[in-house]
């Protein structure tokens, strides 16, 4: 668990360094400062509004305890076990079984489950899934993934600026330096790829950590392992109409049934996750 946290911190540091270094290549010291400020503004917007945006994106509906007492009972038990406030509970009108957690911190957290997951999982399997999602809340993964996503977005913007700078001869009177122009062009091409790979590494690392935390909260690694088997099979059979930018939030990749979705998967292999969970027994 400590190793995963150290790895995530290092990867976030690399993303931040990429943002600043691209800003420096594009506009020198002033460009570095602009890039840094851009990252701060984007992170601020993501921190305050990402939960509202993603819940609205999937038409998630808030529900009260009277509408599903069993679901609320499981969430409340897990939240108490984790030492967390009771999160808001949402249901997504979607038949593909899946779930995610969102919110800027434990005091503003929400868990969302699809209608499909409530139909196919047993109560113990559902408890394993919700334990995984509350594990994300407890481990502050939502904040980490939001920071990674916005830093990645900043890199994409700066890489686009660098690409146009290379096309039109560079910035700041350096158009006679072919090395500088070629460097800008290489940065414009390679930086977004590097940013994407780092984001994927962060997401995969946090999934393993949430599996471990969820198994401990539910006191039953096998129930989460069985749930993952069911969810993976269902997602391959009935892919969810999900936005790729939010795929990392779900417990299993909602795009796993779509062509080429596994090439840049935001989730580690299901078989490996299940193997690690069953080793915890």
Spatial distance between the Cα atoms of 279 and 281, rounded to a whole number of angstroms? 5
Q: Quote the CA–CA distance of 216 and 3 in Å, as a whole number.
A: 18
Alpha helices by DSSP H, 93-140 = 115-120, 123-138
Instruction: Kindly report the pTM of this predicted structure.
Output: 0.75
Model confidence pLDDT, tens digit, residues 166-205:
665 555 444 444 445 666 566 666 666 666 666 666 677 7
> Distance of CA 6 to CAs 9, 26, 86, Å?
5, 30, 28
Q: What is the DSSP letter of 252?
A: S
Between 182 and 117, name the one with better pLDDT: 117
Distance CA 97, CA 92 (A): 10
**Confidence at residue 178, expressed as pLDDT on a 0 to 100 scale:** 45
**What end-to-end distance do the CA atoms of the chain give, in Å?**
17
- Give one word for 125, left, alpha or beta, with left for phi > 0 and alpha for psi -120 to 50: alpha
Asked if 50 and 146 count as a contact pair (C-beta separation under 8 A), the reply is yes
Share of the chain above pLDDT 90, in %: 43
- Residues serving a catalytic function are 133
Spatial separation of the C-alpha atoms in residues 209 and 280, rounded to whole Å:
13
How confident is the model over 48-61, as a mean pLDDT?
88
More confident residue, 88 or 147: 88
Q: Which residues pair with 90 in a beta bridge?
A: 62, 112
Contact status, residue 155 vs residue 198, Cβ threshold 8 Å: no
Tens digits of per-residue pLDDT, 6-45?
655 666 677 667 777 777 766 667 766 777 777 677 666 7
* DSSP bridge partners of 110: 88, 102
**Boundaries of every domain in the chain:** 2-279
Residues 204-238, buried b or exposed e (16+ Cβ, 10 A)?
bbbbbbbbbbbbebbebbbbbbbbbebbbbbbeee
Q: What digits encode the pLDDT tens for the residues 219-264?
A: 999 999 999 999 999 988 888 888 776 777 899 988 765 544 454 5
């Amino acid at each position: 668990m400590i190793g995963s946290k150290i790895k995530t911190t290092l990867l976030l540091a690399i993303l931040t360094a990429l943002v600043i270094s691209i800003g420096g290549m594009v506009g020198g010291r002033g460009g570095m400062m602009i890039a840094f400020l851009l990252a701060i503004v984007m992170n601020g917007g993501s921190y305050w509004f990402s939960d509202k945006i993603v819940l609205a994106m999937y038409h998630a509906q808030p529900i009260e305890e009277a509408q599903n007492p069993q679901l609320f009972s499981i969430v409340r038990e897990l939240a108490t076990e984790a030492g967390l406030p009771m999160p808001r509970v949402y249901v997504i009108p979607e038949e593909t079984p899946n779930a995610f957690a969102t919110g800027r911190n434990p005091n503003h957290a929400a868990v969302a489950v699809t209608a499909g997951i409530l139909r196919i999982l047993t109560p113990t399997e559902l408890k394993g899934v919700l334990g995984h999602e509350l594990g994300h809340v407890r481990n502050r993964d939502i904040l980490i993934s939001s920071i990674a996503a916005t830093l990645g977005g900043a890199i994409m913007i700066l890489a686009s600026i660098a690409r146009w700078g290379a096309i039109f001869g560079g910035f700041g009177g350096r158009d006679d330096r072919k090395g500088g122009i070629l460097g800008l062009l290489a940065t414009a091409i390679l930086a977004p790829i590097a940013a994407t790979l780092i984001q994927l590494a962060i997401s995969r690392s946090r999934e393993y950590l949430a599996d471990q935390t969820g198994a401990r909260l539910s006191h039953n690694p096998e129930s989460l392992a069985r749930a993952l088997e069911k969810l993976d099979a269902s997602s391959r059979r009935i892919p969810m109409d999900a936005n790729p930018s939010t795929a990392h939030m779900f417990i299993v990749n909602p795009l796993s049934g779509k062509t080429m979705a596994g090439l840049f998967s935001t989730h580690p292999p299901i078989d490996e996750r299940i193997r690690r969970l069953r080793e915890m027994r």
